[in-house]
């Protein structure tokens, strides 16, 4: 579960529930105390069919390699690991530690690729690149998009695991 | 059975590699220091070394292996999510025998690299 932090009518940060008071305060300080205008976010489509979220060829390859057990184990592993990486990325954004953001995005790129979540891979690569360029406003914007994409991947992976167990 | 040391901090990649490398004795390490200590006790025939390890990165791990008489002859393959121009040359110059990009989407390429290092 995730929750958006609104500034005006725009989402400027996404926090995972239960919301950490410290992380919320850090994000609020970053936004409210900044002398730069908050970067508007582009519209993110809310619904994408699952097969656009996960490349089913990647899933089939995993199935051929280790059967449904490998698909299930890797799916569960990714669903456990990616939220941990978001914690690292979010803390990095809130505290201005772009190196931590880049490290988290780098690892996310690899994990997302395993389950064929290529839109997440591309977005994580963009976050990594922007963080290396020391571009905090654009990195923060891309991280919000990363959260939105992950919500779709998370739903698609849960659906996949349910089918795999059936 | 050939023994391979996998040095990788990402648990999802370790799980995938475990499945791919089913036919090998596989020792897994999450960090460079843990790998250096472990390989001193259980010498592998080959090491698959992630480049972007936290703390001590893969290039430094390999440099330390080369400085250790017991480990310096172990061939190493770089595992990297980097696919930037010049990376191949950089990894080969550091002493890696080969490199494979992650995530592994073609096991055949990995097996070719392994075979080139330690035979089939």
List, as ranges, residues 54-83 from A with C-beta within 8 Å of B: 58, 61-62, 65-66, 70, 73-74, 77-78, 81
CA neighbor of B64 nearest in space, from B47, B88, B45, B81: B47
**Which of A114, A124, A125, A126 should be substituted to probe chain B, the one whose Cβ sees the most B Cβ atoms within 10 Å?**
A114
pLDDT tens profile B48-91: 999 989 889 999 999 999 999 999 999 999 998 766 667 788 88
Find out whether A109 and A97 touch, Cβ atoms under 8 Å: no
Q: What percent of chain A has pLDDT over 90?
A: 65
Pairwise CA distance, residues A77 & A96, whole Å: 28
- Give Cβ neighbours of residue B74 (< 8 Å, ≥ 6 apart): B5, B39, B43, B44, B45, B46, B47, B65
The per-residue pLDDT for range A45-97, each reduced to its tens digit, is 444 445 679 999 999 999 999 999 999 999 999 999 999 999 999 999 999 99
Query: Predicted ipTM?
Result: 0.86
pLDDT at A45: 47
B83 touches chain A (CB under 8 A): no
Please tell me the pTM assigned to this model. 0.82
Report d(CA B48, CA B6) in Å as an integer: 5
Report the pLDDT value the prediction gives residue A51, as an integer from 0 to 100: 65
Q: For B97-110, what is each residue's pLDDT tens digit?
A: 998 988 887 889 99
* Selection from A88, A68, A75 nearest residue A164 by Cα: A68
Look at residue A41 and tell me whether its pLDDT is greater than 70: no
Of the residues B11, B16, B17, B58, the best mutation for testing chain A's interface (the one with the most A CB atoms within 10 Å of its CB) is: B16
């Amino acid at each position: 579960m995730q929750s958006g932090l609104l500034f005006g009518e725009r989402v400027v940060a996404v926090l995972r529930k239960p919301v950490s008071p410290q992380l919320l305060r850090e994000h609020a300080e970053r936004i409210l105390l900044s002398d730069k205008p908050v970067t508007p976010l582009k519209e993110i489509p809310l619904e994408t069919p699952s097969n656009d979220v996960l490349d089913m060829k990647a899933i089939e390859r995993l199935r051929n390699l280790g059967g449904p057990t490998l698909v299930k184990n890797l799916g569960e592993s990714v669903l456990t690991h990616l939220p941990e990486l978001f914690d690292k990325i979010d803390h990095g954004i809130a505290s201005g530690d772009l190196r931590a953001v880049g490290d988290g995005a780098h690892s996310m790129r690899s994990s997302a690729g395993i389950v064929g979540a290529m839109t997440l891979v591309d977005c994580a690569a963009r976050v990594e690149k922007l963080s290396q360029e020391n571009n905090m406003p654009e990195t923060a914007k891309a991280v919000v998009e990363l959260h939105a994409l992950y919500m779709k991947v998370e739903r698609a992976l849960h659906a996949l695991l349910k089918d795999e167990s059936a | 059975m050939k023994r391979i040391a996998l040095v990788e901090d990402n648990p999802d990649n370790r799980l995938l590699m475990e499945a791919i490398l089913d036919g090998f004795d596989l020792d897994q390490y999450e960090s460079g220091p843990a790998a250096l200590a472990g390989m001193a006790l259980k010498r592998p025939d080959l090491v698959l070394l992630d480049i972007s390890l936290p703390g001590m990165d893969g290039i430094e791990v390999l440099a330390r292996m080369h400085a250790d008489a017991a480990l310096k002859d172990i061939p190493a393959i770089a595992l990297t999510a980097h696919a930037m121009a010049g990376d191949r040359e950089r990894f080969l110059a550091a002493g890696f025998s080969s490199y494979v990009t992650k995530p592994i989407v073609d096991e055949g390429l990995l097996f070719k690299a392994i075979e080139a290092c330690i035979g089939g």
